């Protein structure tokens, strides 16, 4: 059993990772923000050790990490991934200052591995699948701060001979996803026989199912490839257009309603090409996605229905 520290454990990906690690029997410590949202971990709170702390508080962070002395750290705390999170100072405080402070605090302990969470948005818009050595062209405050954190982690790993891999996540979907996102909205509307407002049908993403993403975290923590500060793209290598998403949703949920394309304006981040080059994570960590988009979507629908039944 390992002593594990997780930031962002009340978020979508973090909550799923927390649950998987709990099932493996580890001692889990979650660093949570004041006034954090607990709905994703409400039924497992008694199995966790919760620490309310701001990652910007350098001294408090050092003291807490010193007391815990984690074997493994999974850093998933983030701000700015949603359009509603647009406060620049908070994006900087969480994504850059928070990452620097946490890593500096952990360096004082004898940890095995620190798994950092990156983002495919670090690349900016590319008209091909970018490799991990691609020139970064972030085009938002969020993307800039995520790229900065990745570069800092890689530098510290190489400078101090530490295991600090970064996972650049593509479009993750699945259980406990934010209710306002496309998939939860599509399922909620679809179960009523309806479709939500939709943008251009050619908009595309590399959608990767949450269970596959969690496997990537576990492999990154377990396997030492010898590359200090390694970066891995976590995506299926296949992009799915919004038109494909809707066709699959209509089939799985038996929706008769027809899509009204353009009933929602395109967002500034929408693009017709967004897909991972995942050859590195396949060859070095042995990771391959188990779920097609349709299989993952069906699993998410099953989870959503079970949640509705449990609340009755």
Domain locations in the chain? 3-170+210-234, 172-207+237-275+291-310
Judge if 3-170+210-234 and 172-207+237-275+291-310 fold alike in CATH terms. Answer: no
Query: Which DSSP helix (H) or strand (E) runs through 166?
Result: strand 166-169
CA distance 177 to 174: 6
CA distance 104 to 97: 10
Please, which residues bridge with residue 167 across strands? 117, 232
What pLDDT tens digit does each residue of the chain (312 aa) get?
A: 799 999 999 999 999 999 999 999 999 999 999 989 999 999 999 999 999 999 999 999 999 999 999 999 999 999 988 778 889 999 999 999 999 999 999 999 999 999 999 999 999 999 999 999 999 999 999 999 999 999 999 999 999 999 999 999 999 999 999 999 999 999 999 999 999 999 999 999 999 999 999 999 999 999 999 999 999 999 999 999 999 999 999 999 999 999 999 887 776 666 778 999 999 999 999 999 999 999 999 999 999 999 988 776
Q: Could you tell me if 39 and 176 are in contact, meaning their C-beta atoms sit under 8 angstroms apart?
A: no
* CATH architecture under which domain 3-170+210-234 falls: 3-Layer(aba) Sandwich (3.40)
- Which of 74, 64, 72 is closest to 16 using CA atoms? 74
Q: What are the Cα distances from residue 209, in Å, to 174, 177, 195?
A: 6, 11, 22
Q: Could you tell me if 262 and 201 are in contact, meaning their C-beta atoms sit under 8 angstroms apart?
A: no
Domain covering 172-207+237-275+291-310 assigned CATH 3.90.25.10 in the classification: yes
Q: Residue 263: its pLDDT value, please?
A: 84
Q: For residue 275, what are its two tokens?
A: 């897909």
């Amino acid at each position: 059993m390992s002593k594990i520290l997780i930031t962002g454990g009340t978020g979508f990906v973090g909550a799923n990772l927390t649950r998987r690690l709990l099932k493996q029997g580890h001692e889990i410590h979650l660093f949570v923000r004041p006034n954090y949202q607990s709905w994703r971990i409400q039924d497992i709170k008694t199995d966790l050790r919760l620490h309310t702390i701001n990652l910007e508080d350098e001294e408090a962070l050092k003291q807490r990490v010193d007391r815990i002395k984690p074997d493994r750290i999974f850093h998933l705390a983030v701000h700015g991934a949603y359009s509603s999170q647009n406060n620049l100072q908070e994006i900087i405080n969480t994504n850059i200052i928070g990452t620097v402070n946490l890593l500096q605090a952990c360096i004082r302990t004898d940890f095995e591995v620190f798994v950092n969470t990156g983002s495919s948005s670090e690349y900016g818009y590319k008209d091909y699948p970018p490799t991990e050595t691609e020139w970064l062209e972030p085009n938002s405050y969020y993307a800039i701060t995520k790229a900065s954190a990745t570069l800092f982690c890689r530098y510290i790993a190489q400078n101090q001979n530490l295991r600090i891999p970064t996972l650049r996540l593509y479009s993750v979907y699945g259980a406990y996803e934010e209710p306002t996102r496309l998939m939860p909205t599509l399922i909620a509307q679809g179960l009523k026989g309806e479709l939500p407002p939709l943008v251009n049908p050619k908009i595309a993403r590399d959608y990767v199912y949450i269970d596959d993403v969690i496997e990537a975290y576990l492999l990154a923590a377990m396997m030492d490839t010898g590359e200090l500060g390694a970066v891995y793209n976590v995506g299926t290598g296949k992009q799915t257009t919004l038109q494909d998403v809707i066709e699959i949703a209509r089939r799985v949920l038996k929706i008769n309603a027809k899509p009204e394309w353009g009933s929602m304006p395109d967002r500034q981040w929408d693009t017709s090409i967004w897909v991972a080059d995942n050859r590195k994570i396949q060859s070095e960590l042995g990771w391959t996605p188990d779920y097609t988009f349709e299989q993952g979507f069906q699993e998410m629908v099953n989870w959503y229905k079970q949640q509705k039944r449990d609340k009755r």
